[in-house]
Amino acid sequence: MGIELFPPANPASDPDLTPAEPWPARHRSPYGSAFLRFADQLGAAAMELLAAAVPVDCVCCGAEDRALCAGCSRRVRRLSTLPFRAEGGAPALMDVSGRVLLPVVAAGVYREELAQALLSFKRHGQYQVRHSLAQALAGALRGAAPDGAAMICVPVPTSTAAFAARGFSPVHSLLGVAARQVPGVAVADVLARTGNGHPQVPGGQKGLDRGDRARRVRGSMRVRRGAAATVAGKACIIVDDVLTTGATLAEAARALHLAGAFVRGAVVLAATRPPGAADASAIPAGAQGSHPVLEKNKPEKGE
Residue 285 sits in a domain of what CATH number? 3.40.50
Query: In a 3-state reduction of DSSP, which class is residue 81?
Result: coil
How many other CB atoms sit within 10 Å of the CB of residue 57?
Answer: 14
Task: State the CB neighbour count (10 A cutoff) for residue 172.
Answer: 16
In a domain, 42, yes or no: no
Residue 76 lies in a domain: no
- Which residue spans within 169-209 are E strands per DSSP? 185-187, 191-193
Q: What is the mean pLDDT of residues 125-130?
A: 78
Query: Tell me, what amino acid is at 43?
Result: G
- What is the DSSP code string of 125-165? --HHHHHHHHHHHHHHHHHHSTT---EEEEEPPPPHHHHHH
Q: pLDDT per residue over 175-199, tens digit each? A: 999 999 998 899 999 999 987 655 4
The domain tally of the chain equals: 1
CB 153 within 8 A of CB 186: yes
The partner residues of 243 in beta bridges, in order of sequence, read 271
Smallest CA-to-CA distance from 294 within 155, 105, 83 is with 105
Comparing CA positions, the residue from 265, 217, 271 lying closest to residue 241 is 271
Question: Is residue 1 in a domain?
Answer: no
Q: Per residue in 70-82, pLDDT tens?
A: 888 888 999 999 9
User: Is 303 a domain residue?
Assistant: no
pLDDT band at 292 (very low <50, low <70, confident <90, very high): very low
pLDDT tens figures, 71-123:
888 889 999 999 999 999 899 998 888 889 999 999 999 998 999 899 988 88
With respect to residue 151, please indicate whether it lies within any of the assigned structural domains: yes
pLDDT at 50: 56
- 63 falls within a domain: no
Region of 284 (left: φ > 0; alpha: ψ -120 to 50; beta: rest) is beta
Range of the domain at 117: 82-297
AA letter at 186: A
In this predicted structure, the answer to whether residue 10 has a pLDDT above a threshold of 70 is no
**Is 117 inside any structural domain?**
yes
Q: Of 272, 276, 280, which is closest to residue 210 (Cα–Cα)?
A: 272
| Residue 212 covered by a domain | yes
